[in-house]
Structure 1
């Protein structure tokens, strides 16, 4: 895969030999690849293999040149090395980073993933004051089928769009499938009304406005309006009628939005009073037809720790979802994710302790491959103390590029030479598994950049995950700070933060890890932690972790536990197990995800969680939490329960009227002997009666 580099009119101190050595490729340095040296670009793209062009400034121009090039044209990939380091103050020392960015651009394209389809016929509902709604409708009405739900104000006399009014009970749904439920309780039928305004002139209380709604609080029942309306549009005796209407798009001009979640459904736009509407109106004009987006998540029910036996356990994904796309289905013992509401933030996958919810676009192994390629190429090129900067591919990318331009004119330092930026679909889409993988692979620090538009619960969750990861590293003796989350809304803020980041960096393993990131979150965590443990300076027996950790033990109060084993059937991770041969409760700590289902299920309230990480290899071996003697059937001697459980049962039922005499004695028998005893007693009664 050939690589074309350009120093952008000699504004970047690029070293083609150093870059080529790191990439195992001979590179030629260009200065005007998009102008006088465009022939070199045309020559390089004549073929079937992909071509990497280290320029995003003239991406559109290169695409046009490619269209005009005769012969087979290879696929082209573009990568920004200018604003991400080539224009920084320490650009001369940034060759290892630039080589790493070029190497990452050469990775295979992400595998195709399932898609979610939206279909829109352009049915737009505008809710708001009539004059504001009509102003918005005038801009999009030639493309969209507009209906206005009037919420006061005054509009034009000309009936240009359907106008309805009443009481809104709810707006639900998503792009292409919104549902408006409303009550038609206005005495004036807007379909019959001719806007003659006779009712407005006749009303002595001014209870009717130019939106043709009757203010019930002001109306004194003179009914002068009814007398002057010759078309019969006004009827105060009309019963309110419930209506349901379907729309593809919603433009909400009210002060209070219909959707209060941080990430409203796609196709819904909230613009109070219609302020700053141009961009939104332009988007609306384009939202007719069939659209697709990636299905951002994968779900494996058997791994889910949400519910067992109608008991709720882990609700991390439901609690964090800013789009309210995840709900509980306790009947099916799982969570449900609405793909049409999902916005792809990935926060649910970050906080999921089991990996039941996985990030689907791009998939975790592909993200891991990018991280490993960045760090390994950087190290091979002679880079030291790498800091991995994770940012969103939209606002975060814009901030990085704005910082680079500021550095070019001396207004900022720019992205430091040891800071490796990596764009994500959303900053909440990576978590402890990939962060620890990065540290195991040689990153001294992993920083997540928030552009200030993320949901507050995302920031809380990322900080909590970082605290867990840092506690693990500190417990293993890796000194220093390895993780940080910061917010920057302006290039100046970002510049100050990156100056601090460049000097940070905790200890890393002597030998970087080389494992491939797995699709299974727990498998990746095991690989990363095993490598960190192997290279650690300190190896304590266990490491205490903050609450909410996906690792830990279960403590059992043996005085309370009757070994009923209800916890075993509730455990989704097979961390709690029985012993078919003996009355034992066994535990495999490496399997435990600290979901709490066992605690919620235990009828004796004998269990509690202990967040920690057991460093010793015994964490993967079963150990006995509680055991007792078996209880043998008083009739045949066969064990059928535990001594403690049967004695507890007898003690609780001994005073019950139904368990007296022989019935109480049968509680001490196994199931087979109990049946035999019942029938034997029945036969004896028949003989006696005869």
Structure 2
């Protein structure tokens, strides 16, 4: 790969030899491809770019300011491959660090940014398709709906659903009166339902105005609906409308529905109240918003695609078992309501194990047409059943590892990884860099490594801890003013978990922080935070697609790289909210060892013992989903969020007994069956029941085999007696 760098008219200090040395020491980075430092590559030095383009090599240009110009220039350069065949990559080294006050010391950071940009693009993901032919439903009052329809005419097939307000004399489009009762769907597949109860049918009305003139109470106006509060049943309007037959006071309320590709909602209260409404739905409360969304709606005809942002592994899901709900973190955090509980398996069984019904596993359903790609569901998922795919954890992990390795190879210290959204976060950082170039701000410090994500909520504890283990002293997430409240809550909870673990291991300082920068000066100040204590030796591992495996590798490395004089505690207490690690407390006075919890556990953290009444537990496998807690009929289980580190963390890998009880021995053959507490509870509860008296009561104390034998023997004795 050939890399072209430019100091943008000498406004940055770029050290080409130092950059090359840093890249030479970075696996998978290309140092040989770095050309000389240019100053005006986009102007008089453009021939250097053209020569590079004609070489046929992959091309990386360290400038995003003039990306469009470079692409056009490549297309016009004779002998250069087309952009479809060999796309040009771009990386911003100017606003992200070169223009900061310590830009002269940012060589290690610039090498990190270039090394990450040289990596191959992530693997492509499946796509989700939408098809719109332009059927648009406009909901609102008559005059405003008509004004909106006029803006959309010529491009869209508009239908109006109005409730109140006058209508124009000319009948140019389909207009329906009624109250919206339901709306669901997405671009190309909206389903609307409404109810109409007025005597005048607008579909039949010719707007001849005869009814308005005939009504003695003035109960009909140019909205062509009867004001039933003013009407005194003269029915003069019915007489003058006989030819059209549009007025019928005996008409019952009608429930109607229709399918549309787009919806323009002009109501004061939007039909969709979630933070992120579906694609194809627009709400415009003001006239300024109406003009903006009308322009967008006019372009939403045709076929569209977007990435399928998530990957779901149902076998890992800890949402529900046996019709009991455990973890619902993804459902709670989704701002588009794209995730719902899967009730399709309700009432069914999943086979039989040891003669008993096997645990019934049901998961969640994610509607890809509603998903907007925030990735928050993957962040809060305790098992990794939901993972973000744009890019996936492996591609993102490779990028982070490469950045940190190049930064360290270039002599950088105290790296702070700044994760931000690809759009809003990038704009905020660029604005900060611009002010820094004019001396009005410090700019992004040399130790801060910005990394753009599709959405800042798409990564969580596994990526943050892995990055810390790989040499990032701090991990910060930049959020904007428009984030969904549930995203901020989820990120804060995950931050608290990460900080509790790192602080518990003895690392000093604040390592994980959510930066909410509503203004550029606020962001500038936040990025000047003091460094925290990092690992003595960065980890060599790469982030895996398996979330729990990544977490285990990160924890293992941190335990091996404790700060000087620090001793790992046996247990680190974790906040309850968002906990991914922990144990269980079992109340021995309540537990009857019915083993419902064992059957419900989705992660094999709980197990029974075939030889004696026991509940066994492997703490490493517990994801704190709560299924055991909600399944337990005696309410004997309580979650205990914590990280067990005794014996170097080996204890949490081993099976241990959470609870055990004395077995009850059959009064006939002395074989153990059940537990003493369980049998005694059953006998006490059935003591007054008529069916369990005398011999029947004694059989409750027998094993299943002896119970059958006793019933058969008593039956034969009774028969002999009768004979």
Q: TM-score range by the shorter chain?
A: over 0.9
C-alpha displacement at 1:159, in angstroms?
2.0
Contact 2:74/2:80 (CA < 8 Å) preserved in 1? Answer: no
2:653 is aligned with 1:620: yes
2:595 is aligned with 1:562: no
User: C-alpha separation between the residues in 2 aligned to 1:208 and 1:14?
Assistant: 77
Contact 1:150/1:211 (CA < 8 Å) preserved in 2? Answer: no
Aligned twin of 2:70 = 62
SS in 1 for 2:457: helix
Aligned twin of 1:525 = 551
2:469 is aligned with 1:440: yes
Aligned twin of 1:98 = 110
Cα deviations by residue, 1:330-353 (Å, 9 ceiling, x for unpaired): 526222211111111111111111
Aligned twin of 2:623 = 593
Aligned twin of 2:256 = 243
User: C-alpha separation between the residues in 2 aligned to 1:586 and 1:218?
Assistant: 75
1:473-622 correspondence to structure 2 within 5 Å: 473-498=502-527, 502-536=528-562, 537-548=566-577, 549-616=579-646, 617-622=650-655
Q: TM-score if structure 1 supplies the norm length?
A: 0.96
Aligned twin of 1:285 = 298
Q: 1:220–1:383: structure 2 CA closer, same or farther, 3 Å change rule?
A: farther
Contact 1:56/1:78 (CA < 8 Å) preserved in 2? Answer: yes
Matching residue within 460, 477, 499 for 1:470: 499
Matching residue within 655, 666, 683 for 2:688: 655
SS in 2 for 1:650: helix
User: C-alpha separation between the residues in 1 aligned to 2:279 and 2:516?
Assistant: 25
Contact 1:439/1:508 (CA < 8 Å) preserved in 2? Answer: yes
2:676 is aligned with 1:643: yes
Aligned twin of 1:263 = 276
Matching residue within 138, 155, 178 for 1:166: 178
Q: TM-score if structure 2 supplies the norm length?
A: 0.92
Matching residue within 120, 130, 150 for 2:142: 130
SS in 2 for 1:429: coil
Q: 1:282–1:600: structure 2 CA closer, same or farther, 3 Å change rule?
A: same
C-alpha displacement at 1:656, in angstroms?
1.8
1:416-455 correspondence to structure 2 within 5 Å: 416-455=445-484
Task: Identify which range, 151-160 or 582-591, moves more after superposition.
Answer: 151-160
Contact 1:136/1:274 (CA < 8 Å) preserved in 2? Answer: no
User: C-alpha separation between the residues in 2 aligned to 1:5 and 1:247?
Assistant: 50
C-alpha displacement at 1:262, in angstroms?
0.7
User: C-alpha separation between the residues in 2 aligned to 1:105 and 1:211?
Assistant: 61
2:485 is aligned with 1:456: yes
Task: Identify which range, 282-291 or 420-429, moves more after superposition.
Answer: 282-291
Contact 2:595/2:615 (CA < 8 Å) preserved in 1? Answer: yes
Matching residue within 389, 394, 409 for 1:360: 389
2:718 is aligned with 1:685: yes
Cα deviations by residue, 1:161-204 (Å, 9 ceiling, x for unpaired): 21111121111111111111112322222122222333334444
User: C-alpha separation between the residues in 1 aligned to 2:185 and 2:712?
Assistant: 61
Aligned twin of 1:13 = 13
Contact 1:115/1:295 (CA < 8 Å) preserved in 2? Answer: yes
Cα deviations by residue, 1:263-295 (Å, 9 ceiling, x for unpaired): 111110000144333332222122112211111
User: C-alpha separation between the residues in 2 aligned to 1:575 and 1:400?
Assistant: 44
Q: 1:18–1:277: structure 2 CA closer, same or farther, 3 Å change rule?
A: farther
SS in 2 for 1:293: strand
What is the root-mean-square deviation in Å for CA atoms of aligned residues? 1.8
User: C-alpha separation between the residues in 2 aligned to 1:172 and 1:145?
Assistant: 19
2:381 is aligned with 1:348: no
Matching residue within 218, 223, 227 for 2:235: 223
C-alpha displacement at 1:358, in angstroms?
1.3
2:382 is aligned with 1:369: no
User: C-alpha separation between the residues in 1 aligned to 2:560 and 2:163?
Assistant: 66
User: C-alpha separation between the residues in 2 aligned to 1:209 and 1:489?
Assistant: 49
User: C-alpha separation between the residues in 1 aligned to 2:144 and 2:22?
Assistant: 59
The alignment covers a number of residue pairs equal to 687
Unmatched 5+ stretches in structure 1: none
Unmatched 5+ stretches in structure 2: 25-30, 347-360
Task: Identify which range, 349-358 or 232-241, moves more after superposition.
Answer: 232-241
Contact 1:399/1:489 (CA < 8 Å) preserved in 2? Answer: no
Cα deviations by residue, 1:125-182 (Å, 9 ceiling, x for unpaired): 1111222222222222211111111233334322222111112111111111111111
Contact 2:342/2:362 (CA < 8 Å) preserved in 1? Answer: yes
User: C-alpha separation between the residues in 1 aligned to 2:696 and 2:681?
Assistant: 16
